[in-house]
Amino acid sequence: DLVAGDILVVPGSQRLYLRDWIAITLGVVSTLISFTTLLVVTAQ
């Protein structure tokens, strides 16, 4: 399985495959959810 950071290891490839986009999107979304949850919990 590819992690979002693995893309940086391949300098010769310019294309991002669908599963790379999925991995990046899931990583960003989960980070945003965690950050939002943290803010909500802290605000209460």
pLDDT digits (tens, 9 = 90+) for 1-40: 556 555 555 555 556 677 788 888 999 999 999 999 999 9
Q: Give the pLDDT of residue 33.
A: 94
pTM for the whole thing? 0.52
Whole-angstrom distance, CA of residue 13 vs CA of residue 15: 6
Q: Give the pLDDT of residue 8.
A: 54
One-letter amino acid at 29 equals V
